[in-house]
């Protein structure tokens, strides 16, 4: 099979850091065009709009959409309508309804849609899942606490309504949680909004499963010093800690699995796989939990946040 002719829309930091090296090292893909208002990739035909790109390069088979979620639907609709496979950066959209619509469109057009969740491909996630499958889980504690000033300096869009605030990193935790634990739903939530912002800076979430497994998640963007991206499960086989955003697995304090980070290479392997199989991979459950938290959550107002 000849490589999949791929185009990228929205050439920014994540594309340069992650997408381009992953594509370059994957023989299943050949980068043939980009569309971006400002960014370009050396040696690759560049356009400023997706329409111009799709018109000029009919050989495009698939498109990776890497712009902020607020602008993603429009581009995805055009690409799918033109019969192209589509890779969506996380989160797959600004609303659940638009993702449902795109999923139907992909089905109608007979192309593959991929709602990517990079944290699911963190090195130790599958090892954690395998460990949990062989034991009984008693409770889960998710701690996702980082310094927004370090990770998102002066990013205005993330604080606007629809920008998701602390759920932007928190959804990474939820993408792992929904992959390794039984189906959960929210039973209560408190969202803390800085009094000068439209998105939350912290969230405290209580979930349970149908069988009653309690899961407590704490997301906070005000953490200075050591950053925490940990999932702790108390089980009949001991305490499991999946730490550093899914990179390391420990059981009862002993490191049992660790491997080099390779999230984006894995995402592109998965994308090639679903394109070849002629299927889509759209799991909205992480975004659905976020929407549920906004719908069900109690709002609390806290100190103003200034970058």
Residues near a second copy (CB under 8 A) are 73, 77, 93-98, 100-101, 104-105, 161-162, 164, 183-186, 189, 193, 198, 210, 285, 288-292, 294-299
Least distance to a second copy from the beta carbon of 305, Å? 16
For 91, list phi and psi in degrees, rounded to 5.
-75, 155
- For the chain, give the number of residues: 307
Report the nearest approach of a second copy to the CB of residue 135 (Å).
22
Q: H-helix or E-strand containing 264?
A: helix 263-277
Could you list the beta-strand ranges (E) of the chain. Answer: 4-9, 29-35, 46-47, 62-65, 85-88, 113-115, 137-145, 184-194, 202-209, 214-220, 228-235, 238-243, 248-251, 254-258, 298-302
Shortest reach from residue 297's CB to a second copy, in Å: 6
Tell me the three state secondary structure of residue 82. Answer: coil
CA 294 to chain centre: 18
From the candidates 84, 90, 145, 248, give the one annotated as an active-site residue: 90
**Residue 19 or residue 90: which is nearer to a second copy going by CB?**
90
The owner of tokens 């023989």 is: 27
Is 90 annotated as catalytic? yes
Residue 252 CB, nearest approach to a second copy (Å): 31
Catalytic residues: 90
């Amino acid at each position: 099979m000849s490589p999949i002719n791929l185009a990228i829309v929205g050439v920014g930091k994540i594309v340069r850091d992650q997408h381009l090296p992953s594509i370059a090292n994957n023989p299943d893909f050949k980068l043939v065009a980009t569309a971006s208002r400002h960014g370009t990739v050396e040696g690759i035909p560049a356009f400023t709009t997706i329409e111009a790109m799709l018109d000029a390069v009919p050989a495009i088979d698939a498109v990776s959409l890497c712009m902020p979620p607020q602008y993603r639907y429009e581009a995805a609709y055009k690409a799918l309508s033109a019969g192209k496979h589509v890779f969506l950066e996380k989160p797959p959209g600004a609303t659940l309804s638009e993702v449902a619509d795109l999923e139907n469109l992909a089905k109608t057009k007979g192309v593959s849609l991929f709602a990517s969740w990079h944290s699911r491909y963190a090195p130790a996630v599958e090892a954690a899942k395998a460990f949990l499958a062989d034991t009984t889980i008693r409770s889960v504690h998710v701690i996702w606490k980082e310094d927004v000033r370090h990770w998102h300096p002066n990013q205005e869009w993330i604080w606007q309504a629809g920008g998701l605030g602390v759920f932007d990193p928190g959804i990474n935790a939820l993408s792992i949680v929904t992959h390794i634990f039984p189906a959960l739903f929210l039973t209560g939530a408190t969202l803390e909004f800085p009094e000068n912002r439209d998105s939350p800076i912290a969230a405290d979430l209580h979930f349970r499963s149908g069988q009653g497994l309690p899961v407590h998640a704490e997301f906070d963007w005000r953490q200075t010093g050591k950053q925490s991206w940990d999932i702790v499960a108390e089980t009949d086989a001991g305490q499991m800690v999946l730490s550093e955003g899914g990179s390391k697995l420990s059981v009862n304090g002993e490191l049992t699995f660790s491997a080099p980070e390779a999230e984006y290479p894995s995402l592109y392997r998965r994308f090639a796989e679903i394109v070849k199989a002629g299927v889509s991979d759209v799991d909205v459950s992480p975004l659905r939990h976020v929407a549920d938290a906004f719908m069900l959550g109690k709002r609390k107002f806290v100190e103003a946040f200034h970058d």
